[in-house]
């Protein structure tokens, strides 16, 4: 779903991942953002279901705009985010993608 969302945002959008996602085998290590991965500084960083442990924050905290989607309103990343959406990623992202497709 995240790959599809990135395609909707355009050719410069890409996906990154937390260490947990890499460890689970969902995505290759080359996409890992954080202290043990890549440091990124995009104009917009959208974190979906990422709690925001300090190791991850180190790799993305210099992004211009941070959007976080998480069920836990008290997750560390929600405090750092410019825009925080409290909800289930599996409900929020499909609605967001439908809206992007309509525009």
Per-residue pLDDT for the chain (103 aa), expressed as one digit of tens each? 999 999 999 999 999 999 999 999 999 999 999 999 999 999 999 999 999 888 999 999 999 999 999 999 999 999 999 999 999 999 999 999 999 999 8
Tokens 């497709």 appear where? 101
Domain boundaries, the chain: 2-102
* CATH 3.40.50.300 for the 2-102 domain, yes or no: no
Beta partners for 44? 65
What pLDDT was estimated at residue 85?
Answer: 97
Tokens 């953002």 appear where? 33
Single pTM value for the model? 0.90
C-alpha pair distances (Å), 42 with each of 3, 16, 45, 60, 90: 17, 11, 6, 8, 24
């Amino acid at each position: 779903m995240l790959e599809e969302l990135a395609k909707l945002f355009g050719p410069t959008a890409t996906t990154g991942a937390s260490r947990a996602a890499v460890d689970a085998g969902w995505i290759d290590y080359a996409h890992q953002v954080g202290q043990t991965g890549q440091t990124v500084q995009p104009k917009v960083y959208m974190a979906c279901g990422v709690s925001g442990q300090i190791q991850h924050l180190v790799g993305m905290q210099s992004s211009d705009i941070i959007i976080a989607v998480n069920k836990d309103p008290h997750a560390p990343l929600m405090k750092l985010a410019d825009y925080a959406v409290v909800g289930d990623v599996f409900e929020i992202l499909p609605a967001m993608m439908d809206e992007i497709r309509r525009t």
